[in-house]
Structure 1
Amino acid sequence: MSITLTKVKESQKHILRNLYSLYLHDLSAFTAKLEIGEDGSFHYESLERFWEIDGISPYFIKLETDIIGFLLLLERPFLKKENDFGVNDLFILNQFKGKGWGREAVNLLFEQRKGKYFVIELEENRPAVSFWKKLYAEAGIEYQERQKVMDEEPCLIQTFTV
């Protein structure tokens, strides 16, 4: 079985919206900033911008033909500073977690897109912090890390080059 990254078409944004609600639900375990909407789902308010702004690129993570998650990549021209890419969000459905598919998706991204990256995690999101640090170690990626408060949340930011 193989993993692919497929750019999300605007006609598929309803699928991405549903996945984002699940992602935000998972993320709500690590922050009090996320609240459920009146309709019973979590909302990502900026979703429409993904197809309006150059350099915000959502990808479905597919296992064969099945969508098992998504990745939100920030790139130029949206990014204007020293980084070429930023992995803004990475989500794998629970039934596929712990099987290496997220790692395989990120490694595929790194094969396809070389450059200087940044990744940001909430400090409280220990599973995400552990995932990324294990990935760096396995891939032999040397990274620099710093702490920064973003939107009143303590975060870790790693920068590295692939």
Structure 2
Amino acid sequence: MTVSLCSISRDEKGVLQNLYSLYLHDLSEFTDELDISSNGSFEFDSIELIWEREGLTPYFIKKEDAIVGFLLLLEKPFLKENYDYSINDIFILKKFRRKGIAILLLKELFKFKKGNYYVIELASNTPAVIFWRKAYSELSIEFDEEKKMIDGENCLVQSFHI
């Protein structure tokens, strides 16, 4: 199976917006902070920032040539802390989940982007917590984890070095 990360151009913003709506719909199960807009979709209201701020890089996740999800990577100069990268959002369409795609794409990402990382999950998002713990185990990544309150939400913050 071939899995790749492909940078998303501003011209492809509509596709990313559609994927973000699906992602936020899934995430709404775990927080009361997400609701649909008046047009009936979940909207990422800061999508324009992705192409306006240096250090925000969106990628399509592709299996062969088909888009199966997206990843939003934060890096310097957007990140101000002692981290080089943060995997801010990662989303795989439901029919492609639990097939090893996300682990393969993380392997690919970590080949080219080495440094200090952090990942944040809502503590109530059990599928995300399980996924990240499995990823760390399968990729032999040692990580530190702390519980933090972020924007009024109980979160888990994991940090690691690649």
Q: How would you bin the TM-score normalised by the shorter chain?
A: over 0.9
Partner amino acid for 1:55? Answer: G
1:111, distance to aligned residue in structure 2 (A): 1.2
Greater shift, 98-107 or 66-75, is seen at 98-107
Quote the Cα distance in structure 2 between the aligned partners of 1:107 and 1:125: 23
Paired residues, what number? 162
1:107, distance to aligned residue in structure 2 (A): 1.5
Quote the Cα distance in structure 2 between the aligned partners of 1:61 and 1:67: 6
Task: Work out whether 1:32 is the aligned partner of 2:56.
Answer: no
1:114, distance to aligned residue in structure 2 (A): 0.5
Q: Could you tell me which residue of structure 2 aligns to residue 83 of structure 1?
A: 83
Q: Could you tell me which residue of structure 2 aligns to residue 61 of structure 1?
A: 61
Task: Summarize the alignment of residues 4-153 of structure 1 with structure 2, pairs less than 5 Å apart.
Answer: 4-153=4-153
1:93, distance to aligned residue in structure 2 (A): 0.1
Quote the Cα distance in structure 2 between the aligned partners of 1:34 and 1:107: 31
Long gaps (5+) in structure 1: none
Quote the Cα distance in structure 2 between the aligned partners of 1:18 and 1:114: 30
Residue 103 of structure 1: SS of its match in structure 2? helix
Partner amino acid for 2:2? Answer: S
Quote the Cα distance in structure 2 between the aligned partners of 1:31 and 1:80: 27
Partner amino acid for 2:35? Answer: E
Quote the Cα distance in structure 1 between the aligned partners of 2:39 and 2:17: 13
Q: Normalized against structure 2, the TM-score is what? A: 0.98
Quote the Cα distance in structure 1 between the aligned partners of 2:114 and 2:154: 28
Quote the Cα distance in structure 2 between the aligned partners of 1:30 and 1:157: 16
**Identity of counterpart residues, as a percentage?**
51
| CA RMSD in angstroms, aligned pairs only | 0.6
Quote the Cα distance in structure 1 between the aligned partners of 2:68 and 2:112: 20
Residue 136 of structure 1: SS of its match in structure 2? helix
Q: Could you tell me which residue of structure 2 aligns to residue 160 of structure 1?
A: 160
Long gaps (5+) in structure 2: none
Quote the Cα distance in structure 2 between the aligned partners of 1:85 and 1:145: 16
Over residues 32-89 of structure 1, what are the superposed CA-to-partner deviations in whole Å (9 max), with x where a residue is unaligned? Answer: 1000111110000110000000001100000111000000000011112100000000
Q: Normalized against structure 1, the TM-score is what? A: 0.98
